[in-house]
Amino acid sequence: MPDTVLLITLLVLPFAGSAVAALLPVNARNAEAWLAGAIALVALLVVCACFPSISAGTVLQARHDWLPQFGLEFRLRMDGFAWLFAFLVTGIGLLVVLYARYYMSPQDPVPRFFSFLLAFMGSMLGVVLSGSLIQLVFFWELTSLFSFLLIGYWHHNAGAREGARMALIITSAGGLCLLVGVLLIGRIVGTYDLDLVLAAGDVIHASPLYLPALILVVLGALTKSAQFPFHFWLPYAMAAPTPVSAYLHSAAMVKLGVFLLARLWPALSGTDAWIWIVGMAGLITFVYGAYVAIFQHDLKGLLAYSTISHLGLITILLGLNSPLAAVAAIFHMVNHATFKASLFMGAGIIDHETGTRDIRRLSGLVRFMPISATLSIVAAASMAGVPLLNGFLSKEMFFAEALDVAGPLPVVDRALPYIAIVAGMFSVAYSLRFIHGAFFGPDPQGLPRTPHEPPRWMRFPIELLVFACIAVGVFPAHTIGPFLDVAVRSVLGAATPEYSLAVWHGFNQPLAMSFFALAGGAVLYLLLQKRLARGIEAVPLMPGLDARSLFDRALVLISWRGARSLARVLGTSRLQPQLRWVVVIAIVAASWPVYRQGLDFAVLPAGSPDFALAMLWAVGMACALGAVWQAKFHRLAALILTGGAGLATCLTFVWFSAPDLALTQLLVEIVTTVLILLGLRWLPKRTPAQWTWAGLLRALPRRSLDLALAIGAGAGLATVAYAVMTRPPAHTISDYFVTRAYPEGGGTNVVNVILVDFRGFDTMGEITVLGVVAIAVYALLRRFRPARESVPAPAQQRAQEENAFRDDMMTPLFIMRLMFPVIVVLALYLLVRGHNLPGGGFVAGLTMAVALILQYMAGGVRWAEARLNLRPVRLIGIGLLSACATGAGAWFAAHPFLTSHSAHVTLPLLGELHVPSAFVFDIGVFVLVVGATALVLIALSHQSIRAHRLPPA
Amino acid sequence: MNEIIVALAIGVLTASGTWLLLRPRTFQVIIGLSLLSYAVNLFIVAMGRLKVDAAPIVVAGAVPDPAAFSDPLPQALVLTAIVIGFAMTALLLVVLLAARGLTGTDHVDGQKDEAR
């Protein structure tokens, strides 16, 4: 149990701190620093508290079910290697927070900085402590995200935005590869549990999926650790504030790639493919990074390329398939983090106190800031591999490994020691450049600020780190020894080799190589003096192969040109081709299963066709075809004919025992017709154009295609409908609804019981849509601008008003007014009986709306509104709320939302009444339908009396 | 045998609706959608098979035999479909009117392309 508490605390604490930090005021620099420092310190103490059990060889675990049906659990796990990384992340994190307190200027929005920094720390701990691969990838991507936010912290600076974007694209693309790789591993092993995956190395090697999984995982690692050919994002990420560089680009994020390679070392390494991919990438990066670093003029740029090179060194060590090399790799991860973090902080101090990081402008700083200079010189010496410093130890281990490598290609094996010496010389040269360029030589001229020592506590983190470099360099076995030991054992397990952490191994080949590299590096630096002094930006002997411009070109190609040409080739802004595709796809989708499964027709049921039905549909089909024929030039005729087809449909519903449908269809038919009639006057007058043979010929292919599609769709749907109708019905859930309608729903009209009770939630959604549509219509019409020529009253209306035709309408008007109470009573009757007989909220609501609209038609808008105070929007609200309230009422009886309940009420005169709560729900439906329908119709009819401003000519 | 008539009706309504859907004038599209929704509603009801004199209204208290009634489920589906179809028609109509006001044409693309 304490394990769980420790691990959860470690993970949750930074994220909680991040949330708090984000809420502090902008100028609370000290409060932020105290908060972040305290969080980092507590996390560090928690990590330290874990050490006793870790050193005893136990693995701390915390697990929690996450998606048990997929075999996924949230799992935290800390072994020696994870402990070492957690220590680095929290320890260096603490120092960086302290440093950042002094580095960040009071004008910077610090809450954002510390909030992101803490969240980043949490994500790092999440990766390090993950016990499940999926979870690891999740936190891995979180680190990419927060590093993006941190690199782009000064977002007013174009370089920072650019660098952040590049880092995000490269590392998160790598993260996606990693995710796929991890899924493949999960498929091979059958689990994402890290312990089981690490134990299944043989299974993974034997799988045909091994190579793809390896490549994808390695892609993730190489992008994150800025390895060739993905190295170029790291120098651009130097636009970040220096504390971020010191943290992310020395100790934390870029180490994740090599962390992952080491973590999965037992599972993935040991094959030739591993040596080829990992070893080669590392080797190229190692040499290339060191070479390019010599010619950097920016201190941070130099350090960035040096970081790339050192990560390459670690990658080679991991790629050699040798346990001893893996030990060296883990050792170098720690050493590099120590000296590189202090060097970044040193560079930041120089930048902070002089105002520039350009080596060409800096010199002689040792006289202005002796203590800081000494610290940076020691750290740089460690980077160069000078004896008695920690960098020397791991580099010598590397030289020893380079001597007896046994790879698949003997030529490379033999060349490796020489390559190692050359790269070692490069790293000595750039370290010398850092030291000599910044700290020695004449006094600097024309610096933005006069350099001086930084504040006491800004220097403290560097002092501590440099002290660690020396302590480890002199007494390795007594300082880092036990910690390295647990880390190595947890990675290598039984394969842990014998290794020695002594400073002095006698005169041997590695030592000779070290001295060769030191001396050669010094000579190289002297030889390059003349060229470096000229201050040229380019790197000599490097062909114009610039990964960055390739990257930019690829981005433009994919995201801009590719998208544009795809849109040009496949896209259209014209509606007709789009609809044509919809129809084509619908036909194909419907035909596909028929094509695959075949379609067999059962025997036609006995009985002759009803003559009346046949006649009905003869008329109905004629109406439909007539509507097609008239829709272009005679809209009113088309509308009436459509109504005819609608009536035929409605009568068919009556015929085949669907009374509720027939009622609804009839009323919707009426309302729709009125609605479209109201809209007709705003459409342009259309007269048949003079047709020509040329026009006809031009339209012919398009029309033939459309005709074929229409006939195809019609014939297809008719065939399928016929095939289904001639088969005996299957048993569906309908049986359930029929048998339970009365006992459980309390109503005999099964359709209505389904709507308001069994599937009440669907109906709820549906009336919401109805309300939304009505309000959308209302909103659209509020700003309605009719076309210029339809603004004046139409000719018919003018004729009617001029002549005294109004009297001709007297009889219908009188009847319409007289009908109002009758229709209202009918509506209420339909509502009340709906649960047991055809009717219900929808039908009743539509009837009520018809009653209202009739009054508008009879008396005109002004007459009706003087007498009827209708608030349709309010009705919509009331309807929706009462439906919701009925649903929510079930909660009080501890039932789920919309569970219905029947109450028996005894009323005088009427006797005992059976009132299900679904009836109240139906009343809500009724009110909403009245409101929505009335709103749509009234909003449209108002347009005719509104004074329309003509649009500006 | 009534099945043939209903299937034919569905076919003709679908074909008419689809043809109009692909026409260039907004009013044609709205009429086409109406016809198409008749067809689809009939089709869905037909999926519950055709029964005469069997409205799904049970007798209170008795244990009903599901086979004696027409299928209530497609009917419930279609009832909501009719109402939503109405809402869709209303919205489409108003969008068309607004587009006509803004673009000055009733072509579906809002461009006066008389050739199409």
Q: What is the pLDDT of residues A421-458, one digit of tens each?
A: 999 999 999 999 999 988 888 888 878 888 888 888 89
Residues A801 and A819 in one domain: yes
Tell whether B99 lies on the interface with A, counting CB pairs under 8 A.
Answer: no
Q: Tell me which chain A residue has its CA closest to the CA of residue B110.
A: A574
Domain count, chain A: 3
Q: Tell me which chain A residue has its CA closest to the CA of residue B32.
A: A628
Write the DSSP string, A210-221: HHHHHHHHHHHH
pLDDT band, residue A716 (cuts 50/70/90): very high
Identify which has the larger pLDDT, A829 or A545.
A829
Q: Tell me which chain B residue has its CA closest to the CA of residue A783.
A: B98
Give SS3 for A468: helix
- Segment A561-567 mean pLDDT: 85
The chain-wide mean pLDDT, for chain A, equals 87
Q: Do B41 and A710 touch (CB under 8 A)?
A: no
Contacting residues of B for A660, CB less than 8 Å apart: 75, 79
User: Hey, of A642, A731, A790, which one would you mutate to test binding to chain B, going by the most B CBs within 10 A of its CB?
Assistant: A642
Structural domain contains residue A602? no
Q: Do A788 and B104 touch (CB under 8 A)?
A: yes
- State the residue for tokens 């459309």: A706
Q: Where are the domains of chain B?
A: 2-50+69-103
Contacting residues of B for A787, CB less than 8 Å apart: 100-101, 104
The alpha carbon of residue B12 is apart from the nearest alpha carbon of chain A, in Å, by: 6
Q: What's the pLDDT score for residue A1?
A: 47
Task: Answer whether residue B107 shows pLDDT above 80.
Answer: yes
Structural domain contains residue A688? no
Q: Which of A131, A157, A191 lies at the terminal end of a domain, its last residue?
A: A131
Identify which has the larger pLDDT, A172 or A806.
A172
Q: What's the pLDDT score for residue A917?
A: 79
Structural domain contains residue A153? yes
- Which residues 6+ apart lie within 8 Å of A151 measured at CB? A160, A163, A164, A167, A237, A239, A240, A244, A248
Residues A228 and A148 in one domain: yes
Kindly report which listed range (A343-352, A931-940, B104-113) carries the lowest average pLDDT score. Answer: B104-113
pLDDT band, residue A149 (cuts 50/70/90): very high
Q: Do B16 and A580 touch (CB under 8 A)?
A: no
User: Hey, of A578, A616, A654, A657, which one would you mutate to test binding to chain B, going by the most B CBs within 10 A of its CB?
Assistant: A657
Q: Do A714 and B13 touch (CB under 8 A)?
A: yes
- Segment A552-568 mean pLDDT: 84
Contacting residues of B for A737, CB less than 8 Å apart: 72-73
Q: Tell me which chain B residue has its CA closest to the CA of residue A716.
A: B11
- Segment A948-953 mean pLDDT: 55
What digits encode the pLDDT tens for the residues A183-223? 999 999 988 899 999 998 889 999 999 999 999 999 999 99
Q: Do B11 and A580 touch (CB under 8 A)?
A: no
Range of the domain at A865: 759-953
Question: Pairing relation of β-strands A902-907 and A72-78?
Answer: unpaired
Q: What's the pLDDT score for residue B115?
A: 43
Cα dihedral: A199, A205, A208, A213 (round 10): 70
How far apart CA A791 and CA A943 sit, in angstroms, is: 10
The alpha carbon of residue A549 is apart from the nearest alpha carbon of chain B, in Å, by: 41
Contacting residues of B for A627, CB less than 8 Å apart: 16, 20, 31, 35
- B6, B16, B71 member nearest A734 (Cβ): B71
Q: Do A610 and B98 touch (CB under 8 A)?
A: no
Where is mean pLDDT largest: A100-109, A407-416, A419-428? A419-428
B65 is written with which tokens? 């035999």
- B83, B93, B101 member nearest A770 (Cβ): B83
- B6, B57, B76 member nearest A837 (Cβ): B57
Q: What's the pLDDT score for residue A664?
A: 93
What digits encode the pLDDT tens for the residues A245-263? 999 888 788 899 999 999 9
Structural domain contains residue A240? yes
Residues A148 and A93 in one domain: no
The alpha carbon of residue A64 is apart from the nearest alpha carbon of chain B, in Å, by: 43
- Segment A635-644 mean pLDDT: 94
Identify which has the larger pLDDT, A519 or A902.
A519
Q: Do B79 and A604 touch (CB under 8 A)?
A: no
Task: Answer whether residue A632 shows pLDDT above 80.
Answer: yes
The alpha carbon of residue A583 is apart from the nearest alpha carbon of chain B, in Å, by: 8
Q: Where are the alpha helices (DSSP H) in A726-809?
A: 734-745, 750-753, 760-782, 795-802
Q: Which of A131, A150, A167 lies at the terminal end of a domain, its last residue?
A: A131
Q: What's the pLDDT score for residue A544?
A: 55
ipTM of the complex: 0.94
- Segment A271-287 mean pLDDT: 91
Q: Do A657 and B5 touch (CB under 8 A)?
A: no
pLDDT band, residue A952 (cuts 50/70/90): low
How far apart CA B72 and CA A758 sit, in angstroms, is: 12
Q: What's the pLDDT score for residue A98?
A: 93
Q: Do B41 and A661 touch (CB under 8 A)?
A: yes
Contact call for residues A181 and A220 (beta carbons, < 8 A): yes
- B38, B48, B79 member nearest A755 (Cβ): B79
CB pairs under 8 A between A and B: 324
- Segment A385-390 mean pLDDT: 89
What digits encode the pLDDT tens for the residues B68-98? 888 899 999 999 899 899 999 999 999 988 8
pLDDT band, residue B16 (cuts 50/70/90): very high
| Residue A246: closest CA among A91, A131, A425 | A91
Task: Answer whether residue B112 shows pLDDT above 70.
Answer: no
Q: Which of A552, A573, A597 lies at the terminal end of a domain, its last residue?
A: A552
Q: Do A661 and B82 touch (CB under 8 A)?
A: yes
Contacting residues of B for A786, CB less than 8 Å apart: 97, 100-101
Q: What's the pLDDT score for residue A947?
A: 62
Tell whether B12 lies on the interface with A, counting CB pairs under 8 A.
Answer: yes
Contacting residues of B for A686, CB less than 8 Å apart: 25, 106
How far apart CA A313 and CA A291 sit, in angstroms, is: 13
Q: What's the pLDDT score for residue A789?
A: 73
Residues A100 and A145 in one domain: no
Tell whether B92 lies on the interface with A, counting CB pairs under 8 A.
Answer: no
What digits encode the pLDDT tens for the residues A459-510? 999 999 999 999 999 898 888 888 999 999 988 888 888 888 877 777 888 8
pLDDT band, residue A37 (cuts 50/70/90): very high
Structural domain contains residue A847? yes
pLDDT band, residue A744 (cuts 50/70/90): confident
Structural domain contains residue A590? no
Identify which has the larger pLDDT, A69 or A611.
A611
What digits encode the pLDDT tens for the residues A1-31? 477 888 999 999 999 999 999 888 887 788 8
- A679, A732, A933 member nearest B73 (Cβ): A732
Residues above pLDDT 90, as percent of chain A = 44
Residues A46 and A127 in one domain: yes
pLDDT band, residue B116 (cuts 50/70/90): very low
- For B2-50+69-103, CATH gives 1.10.287
Tell whether B84 lies on the interface with A, counting CB pairs under 8 A.
Answer: yes
Residues A264 and A189 in one domain: yes
Residues A116 and A142 in one domain: no
Residues A108 and A220 in one domain: no
pLDDT band, residue A43 (cuts 50/70/90): very high
- State the residue for tokens 């027709």: A601
Helices A390-403 and A299-319: angle between axes, nearest 10 degrees: 40
Tell whether B37 lies on the interface with A, counting CB pairs under 8 A.
Answer: no
Q: What's the pLDDT score for residue A572?
A: 78
Q: Tell me which chain A residue has its CA closest to the CA of residue B70.
A: A657
What digits encode the pLDDT tens for the residues A499-542? 888 777 778 888 888 898 999 999 999 988 888 888 777 777 77
User: Hey, of A682, A725, A755, which one would you mutate to test binding to chain B, going by the most B CBs within 10 A of its CB?
Assistant: A725
Residues A279 and A319 in one domain: yes
Task: Answer whether residue A84 shows pLDDT above 90.
Answer: yes
Q: Do A738 and B69 touch (CB under 8 A)?
A: yes
Structural domain contains residue A672? no
- State the residue for tokens 């609209």: A853
- Segment A569-595 mean pLDDT: 88
The alpha carbon of residue A853 is apart from the nearest alpha carbon of chain B, in Å, by: 15
Q: What's the pLDDT score for residue A931?
A: 93
Output phi, psi for A60, to 5 deg.
-75, 140
- Radius of gyration of chain B from Cα atoms? 19
Residues A117 and A177 in one domain: no
Contact call for residues A310 and A251 (beta carbons, < 8 A): no
Tell whether B112 lies on the interface with A, counting CB pairs under 8 A.
Answer: no
DSSP state of A609: P
Contacting residues of A for B114, CB less than 8 Å apart: 689
Q: Do A664 and B79 touch (CB under 8 A)?
A: yes
Contacting residues of B for A729, CB less than 8 Å apart: 48-49, 71
Task: Answer whether residue A360 shows pLDDT above 70.
Answer: yes
Query: Three-class SS string for A126-167?
Result: HHHHECEHHHHHHHHHHHHHHHHHHHCCCCCCHHHHHHHHHH
Contacting residues of A for B97, CB less than 8 Å apart: 679, 682-683, 784, 786
- A664, A729, A784 member nearest B82 (Cβ): A664
How far apart CA A929 and CA A697 sit, in angstroms, is: 49
pLDDT band, residue A671 (cuts 50/70/90): very high
pLDDT band, residue A876 (cuts 50/70/90): very high
Residues A790 and A915 in one domain: yes
Where is mean pLDDT largest: A63-77, A591-605, A632-646, A796-810? A632-646
Contacting residues of B for A784, CB less than 8 Å apart: 97-98, 101
Contacting residues of B for A763, CB less than 8 Å apart: 80
pLDDT band, residue B113 (cuts 50/70/90): low
A892 is written with which tokens? 């009080």
Q: What's the pLDDT score for residue A222?
A: 94
Residues A123 and A136 in one domain: no
Q: What is the distance in angstroms between the CA of the first residue and the CA of the last residue of chain A?
A: 79
Write the DSSP string, chain B: -HHHHHHHHHHHHHHHHHHHHTSSBHHHHHHHHHHHHHHHHHHHHHHT---SS--SBPPTTS---GGGS--HHHHHHHHHHHHHHHHHHHHHHHHHHHHHHHHS--BTTSS--TT-
The alpha carbon of residue B39 is apart from the nearest alpha carbon of chain A, in Å, by: 8
